[in-house]
Amino acid sequence: MTVEEMDNFFENLKNTEATLEEIASAVISDAQKNGADESEVSIDSGTGISVSCRDADVENIEFNKDKSLHITVYKDKRSGSASTNDLSKESLHETVLSALNIATFADRDEFSGLCDKELICNEFKELELIFDNGQNTELAINKALSLDKMILEKPDNRIKKSDGSSFSNSFVTSIIANSHGFSHANSQSIVSCALTLLGEADNKMQRGLGMSISRTIDNLYSSEKIFNEALEHTLQKLNARKLKTGTYNVIFSRSAVRSLWGHLFGAISGGHIYRKSSFLLDKLGKQVLSKNFTVIEDPFVKGGFASRNYDADAVAVNRSEIVSEGMLNEYLLSTYSARKLHMQTNGHASGTHNVFIKDLKNNLSLDEMLKSVGEGVVITGLMGQGVNIVNGNYSRGAEGYYFRNGIFEHAVDGITVAGNLAEMFMKMEAMAQDIDERYSLRTGSILIPDMSISGL
């Protein structure tokens, strides 16, 4: 890209952001003139291209160019919300009136309303979320198609075919504005590429995924690396067997470990806490994890997938230690949930922001962890909805592999892993350093000894 093209890209971006901010401010003004005590507006405007391929041929090409506006008004502690995809003046005015009309029928809620003015973000760090990746159709097709055809270049009789490849490239600008005077634009670029392979053994098919996601197309994994990941994951699932019911050392890995941490963050979210529907209720300032573990949140990581300066309530966010040496320091509070708990929001109306799990005691690779444990089960995927966030009871269908003497022995599926989340978090013994930087949750595989597994 030439310097001139780069300048044009950022000039066009600046103009788009300014236009959307003007629209948001006009809608806020309209709401106030028509009787709202307070109001807040969000606008999302995005463009993108996605291509999918199958059987070495292009299956689908999609272009999108979308805009949407959502407004919430507060009047006499009653709230009403409305949305529209039509940003014409007439439609926006009708949307404002619809929100106000809905508010007249809503129940009063003393905790509703905008955040306190002094908590609004007024400092904006450069987070490097914007790159001009272009939206070239030929490039997108070539990326997806060449990945789908790699199975022809790397034949393996255990792999039957590709189950499809994809490439997507999108650019989104989001605006948040409110009647406290806040109005700010945030633009982000995302590119991704993925491949799914189908393998077969013993007349049973298995799928394995390889993927890459980045802010910039230049940082995507090579096609070979994506293919090799899909190949490894597929082959690792073949010839799967059940295990005998019993107690095993369990290592949660890949999507399974991210799911496990997700239950922690759900349990300490303000919504579950004020509803008294969490197994971690009244645990603030108490130990909830093994003392080996600290959980750090950093919203200011440059290029991070959950980086931001403010949350959905326009509240400034901050770097913090959610858990320090196993001790819970804070709940994840939005403006509303904080008021319900008679606390102050800490900027979590948009969830968590770039979480880093730290094992303060161990520094093991996954292979070293397997060797130190000797025998057990690595769980790489989970199925089902068997989690009770109220009491922490946990029962999920699982797949992965059994290892003995620290070495992969055979794939495992059709099993159920069970326990209680409160006990599982306290029993976490170690984390491997196989951290996947493609995700905003940076965690390695987690060892939890002596877990119940149901199988044969």
343-355 pLDDT, tens digit each? 999 999 999 999 9
Domains of the chain: 3-236 (3.30.2290.10), 246-454 (no CATH)
Q: Is the pLDDT of residue 112 over 70?
A: yes
Confidence of residue 4 (pLDDT cuts 50, 70, 90): low
Contact 166, 52 (CB under 8 A): yes
290-337 pLDDT, tens digit each? 999 999 999 999 999 999 999 999 999 999 999 999 999 999 999 999
Q: Cβ of 456: how many Cβ atoms within 10 Å?
A: 10
Q: What is the pTM of this model?
A: 0.95
Q: And the tokens for 98?
A: 């619809």
CA 25 to the chain's CA centroid: 30
Q: What average pLDDT does this structure show over 410-432?
A: 97
**Cα–Cα nearest to 278, from 395, 422, 426:** 422
Confidence of residue 10 (pLDDT cuts 50, 70, 90): confident
208-234 pLDDT, tens digit each? 999 999 999 999 999 999 999 999 999
42-76 pLDDT, tens digit each? 999 999 999 999 988 999 999 999 999 999 999 99
Partners of 356 in beta bridges: 296, 442
Percent of the chain beyond pLDDT 70?
98
Confidence of residue 199 (pLDDT cuts 50, 70, 90): very high
DSSP string, 11-29: HHHHHHHHHHHHHHHHHHH
Confidence of residue 1 (pLDDT cuts 50, 70, 90): low
Contact 168, 213 (CB under 8 A): no
pLDDT at site 203: 87
At CA 305, angle to CA 302 and CA 308, rounded to 5? Answer: 65
| Position with higher pLDDT, 194 vs 7 | 194
pLDDT at site 456: 76
* Alpha helical stretches, state H, 110-169: 137-148, 150-153
Region for residue 406 given its phi and psi (left: phi exceeds 0; alpha: psi -120 to 50; beta: otherwise): left
